[in-house]
Structure 1
Amino acid sequence: MGAVPVVPAPLRSTPSAPSVPDTTDPLVARTVAWFDDAARDLPWRRPDRTPWGVLVSEVMLQQTPVVRVEPVWRVWLERWPTPADLAAAPTADVLRAWDRLGYPRRALRLQQCAGAIVARHDGGVPDDEEALRALPGIGEYTAAAVRAFAFGRRSVVVDTNVRRVLARTLGGTALGAPAPTAAERGLAAGVVPADEATAARWAAASMELGAVVCTARAPRCGACPVADLCAWRAAGHPPDAHAHRRRTQAWHGTDRQVRGRVMAALRAAVEPVPRALLADSGPDQSQVDRCLGGLVEDGLVEQDDAGRYHLPA
Structure 2
Amino acid sequence: MRDLHRAVVGWFADEARDLPWRDPACSPWGILVSEVMLQQTPVVRVLPVWREWMERWPHPADLAAEPAGEAVRAWGRLGYPRRALRLHAAAAVIAREHDGELPDTEESLLGLPGVGGYTAAAVAAFAFGRRAAVVDTNIRRVHARLVGGEALPAPSLTADERRLAGELLPDDDAASVRWNAAVMELGALVCTARSPRCDACPVAGACAWRAAGEPPPSYVPKGQAWHGTDRQVRGAVMAVLRAASRPVPRGFFDGPTNADAAHSGSVGIELARLHALAAGPEQLERAVAGLLADGLAVERPGGLALP
Q: Does TM, scored on the shorter chain, surpass 0.5?
A: yes
> Aligned partners of 1:195, 1:72: CA distance in 2, in Å?
34
Paired position in structure 2 for 1:222: 199
Task: State the Cα deviation string for residues 232-289 of structure 1 (Å, max 9, x = none).
Answer: 011110000122xx32121101111111000001111122111221125352210110
1:270 has 2:238 as partner: no
1:287 is matched with which residue: 283, 287, 304? 283
Paired position in structure 1 for 2:170: 193
TM-score by length of 2: 0.91
Offset, 1:221: 0.3
| TM alignment of 1:1-313, pairs within 5 A | 24-243=1-220, 246-280=221-255, 281=274, 282=277, 283-306=279-302, 308-312=303-307
> Aligned partners of 2:249, 2:98: CA distance in 1, in Å?
42
- Percent of paired sites with the same residue: 62
> Aligned partners of 1:76, 1:248: CA distance in 2, in Å?
29
Higher helix share: 2
Offset, 1:25: 2.4
> Aligned partners of 2:218, 2:161: CA distance in 1, in Å?
16
TM-score by length of 1: 0.89
RMSD: 1.0
Greater mean alpha carbon deviation, residues 53-62 or residues 85-94: 85-94
> Aligned partners of 2:304, 2:154: CA distance in 1, in Å?
42
Offset, 1:304: 2.0
Offset, 1:27: 1.9
Residue identity matched to 2:301: D
What runs of 5+ residues in structure 1 fail to find an aligned partner? 1-23
What runs of 5+ residues in structure 2 fail to find an aligned partner? 256-273
SS at structure 2 position matched to 1:309: strand
Task: State the Cα deviation string for residues 126-149 of structure 1 (Å, max 9, x = none).
Answer: 111000011000000000000111
Higher RCO (C-alpha under 8 Å, 6+ residues apart) = 1
Paired position in structure 1 for 2:269: none
> Aligned partners of 1:49, 1:201: CA distance in 2, in Å?
16
